[in-house]
Structure formats: C-alpha cells, structure tokens
Structure 1
Amino acid sequence: MTEVHSTTVLGVVHNGEVVVGADGQATMGNTVAKSNVRKIRKLAGGKIVAGFAGSTADAFTLIERFEEKLNGYGQNMKRAAIELAKDWRTDRYLRKLEAMLIVANAEELLIISGTGDVLEPENGIAAIGSGSNFAQAAAIALKKHAPNLSAEEMVRESLHIAADICIYTNHNLVVEKVS
C-alpha cells in the first residue's frame, strides 16, 4: 500500500511573534489524495503549536506522544521534545515512524526528527517536508529584505512560493500564531 505523505510546514519567529503554517495537500504516490489536510495542531491550550510532515498516521502518533511528554514535564516544551526524541530513537515501534515535527511556543521554535535530533534554528526559521527548502529560502529572503512584514505574512508568502514550485505543496494553507 502506498503511504500518504508530502507537505510543507514552516515556522517563523520574527519581531516577537511565533507563527507556524502548513499547506493542506496529502499525496498518495504521485496523486493528490486530499487537498485540505490540517497539519497544524494547537496544544497546551494554544500555548504550543505543532506542525507535522510525513506519514499522517505516524505524525498523529508522534503528536500524541509529544502531548503526553508535555503533560509529564509541566508544559516544558524543550524538555518534552528531548524526551520524545530519545523515545523515538530508542523505542522499536517509534523508530519505524516516518514523520517530523515542528513545535513552537511563544519563545522558541524546534524541529524534532526521528534520528533523535531536536534542532533549534539559529535564524528563527524552521521548515520540514517536501517543499521545505523552497519555503525556507523564501522566508530567509523575506526576513532579510522585508523586515516590515509580520511573521504571519512571511509564513503565508513563503508557503505560497513553495506551492508555486513544489508539486507536493498546495495553496490551501493553515497558519497558527502562538498565543
């Protein structure tokens, strides 16, 4: 059976705002399976936003595990991310999951990968998924040359640019600001 995946998720920290957005396309092989998938979830009463790329079922499993870790570590996002990454790397079941997460709170943005990595981007821009390189390049350029834009405007425009280039990314966006 062909897995459902492919997407673009982008997070930007800019001028005191933290915003995470994603397109809505899910593909099965080289076919669009659904165009309005919601790949962004608010957690911890809206204080944390998580976005996922990869296999949808795998990503939901990881988000559920991340929420469990958040609850276990008193909403400490970085600690929960590190503990999830440890489990992901060592647990035989989790190790087979094919997904990545971007998680953000009001202060920080992290990428969590299945190889045990928890990455905090230096430039306040995190991107995952098939169109991530396009979205990240656009966000870097906007942050450098259009600092008057809000973080939300940067995320939306960068995702639209990625959608214009990447066949696995569409213009049906979901964007969430961390409150």
Structure 2
Amino acid sequence: MESWHGTTIIGVRKNNKAVIAGDGQVSLQSTVIKPNARKVRRLGDGKVIGGFAGATADAFTLFERLERKLEQYHGALMRSAVELAKDWRTDKYLRNLEAMMIVADKDITLILTGNGDVLEPAGGVAAIGSGGNFALAAATALFDYEDDAETVARKAMKIAADICVYTNDQLTVETIEDAA
C-alpha cells in the first residue's frame, strides 16, 4: 500500500499569543505531490485555530465535527475537544479516521488524537506530524531565547524543513492574540 507523508504542525503559546503553523508539503512515497497545502485554519467563528496531520479527508471531517461541537458548547474549546474525542474513540466511522490535530483558543492549546487523547502540552509547545519531533525540539530550545510565539514557531518550522524530507518551508500561520 502506498504511504502518504508530509506534515509538520507546531503550536506555540507565549506572552499572550497562541500560534499554530504548518508546512505545505504533501508527499507520496518519495514524490512531492503538492508543495502548498493549507493544513492550518480558523474554526469557531475565528476564535479557535487548528492544524492537522494525517489523511486530509479525515482531518477535514474532524474539523467539521469540532466546529459542530464548538457551536453546541458555545465556543468552549476544552469541552468541545473532550466531546469530540469521546465520539472519535467510540463511533465506528470516526474510529477509523487517521489524523491528529493541534487546536488553540485564547486560553488553551490542545493535541487531539484518535486514541481519545486530549492533551494540554507542558511548556507552551506542541508539535505533530512527520517533522513534529524536529519542530518540537527546535521550539523547546528557542523558547527561552525568543519573546515572540510566532518567531519561535517560524524558526522551529524552518529547522524541521531543513531536516525532515516530508516538510517544506511554505507555511500557513494562524495567530490568536491576548492568549492566556
């Protein structure tokens, strides 16, 4: 079976700012299929930002489900994420979706997985995808030396793109100011 690769998503929360950045590369084995995919977007009337790693159709299904949960729970990201994770874990259809997400609002950053995990990263940094560990290591090292969350995210993504063959430097970046 052919294997699709190619996503690095990072979330950085620092100094009242939450940022999620994602690269644009989609690869099929050793071939770059698309260099400028948008894997980061705004949700919940723009009050939530999210990025995904994994199968694109699966991720968009999860984004749509999260949007509905945000509407149902009046924009409460933690409650919406927990309810989505419950559905994702127990629903026969959703259980087969292969994707992960990082989502953030003004108060919290979360990693959501198909295992039912709703994780709040320690230290203000979260990363997923093919180059996630490279971006996470870079952002963790930069965190104490850069004051701006977006600068940390952009520099970490550059480092990941330089190391991971499934990551490129064509970024989509979304920011929420006045984050707690």
Report TM bin, short chain.
over 0.9
CA contact (8 A) 2:5 2:130 kept: no
For residues 1-179 of structure 1, the aligned pairs below 5 Å read 2=2, 4-144=4-144, 146-148=145-147, 150-179=148-177
Q: What amino acid maps onto 1:154 in structure 2?
A: V
Equivalent pair of 2:69/2:84 in contact (CA under 8 Å) = yes
- 1:103-161 deviation line (CA, Å, top 9, x unaligned): 000111000000000000111111010100000000001112x133x100110000000
Q: Percent identity?
A: 55
> TM-score when scaled to structure 1?
0.95
Structure 1 stretch 42-51 or stretch 166-175: which is displaced more?
Answer: 42-51
Q: Given residue 49 of structure 2, which amino acid in structure 1 is its aligned partner? A: V
CA distance in 2 between partners of 1:33 and 1:56 (Å)? 13
C-alpha separation in 2, matches of 1:4 and 1:53: 11
Aligned residues: 177
SS of residue matched to 2:135: helix
- Structure 2 distance, partners of 1:28, 1:84, is 29
Gaps in structure 2 of 5+ consecutive residues: none
Secondary structure, counterpart of 1:178 in structure 2: strand
TM-fit CA distance, 1:21: 0.3
Provide the rounded CA distance (Å) in 2 between the counterparts of 1:129 and 1:69.
Answer: 24
CA distance in 2, matches of 1:58, 1:114: 11
Out of 27-36 and 76-85, give the one that drifted further.
Answer: 27-36
What is the root-mean-square deviation of aligned Cα atoms in Å?
1.1
- The alignment partner of 1:2 has SS state of coil
Moved over 6 A (4+): none
Tell me which amino acid in the other structure corresponds to 1:90. Answer: T
Q: Is the 8 A contact 1:11 1:109 kept in 2?
A: yes
TM-score after normalising by structure 2: 0.95
The answer to whether the Cα contact below 8 Å between 1:27 and 1:168 also exists between their aligned partners in 2 is yes
